[in-house]
Amino acid sequence: ASYLRFLTRNFQESFKMYGMEVRLAVKKSAENPYHDKEKINRGGMGLGGREARKKRMITELKSHGKPPKKGTRRRMQRARGRYS
């Protein structure tokens, strides 16, 4: 949804159609090369997201019985020198 919003605003700016409604018709393609590919397990540092946060929360609850503190992961990475 946010990408479609970006496209419509970009079209409005590119063609100088300010104030005019831009409608995009989007359809699913049967020839999507990425549709059935399995997700690649990167190991270590992944992209994160809602599913990764949920998985980390569950493993922390199973191991320690309490949810992790917010921001702990970033602080640990900053201490190791990954963030400056």
Structure confidence at residue 47 (pLDDT): 59
Q: pLDDT at residue 45 above 70?
A: no
- The verdict on pTM exceeding 0.85 is no
Task: Give me the mean pLDDT over the 41-69 stretch.
Answer: 74
Question: Which among 54, 7, 44 has a CA at the least distance from the CA of 26?
Answer: 7
Q: pLDDT at residue 21 above 70?
A: yes
- Rounded to whole angstroms, how far apart are CA atoms 42 and 27? 31
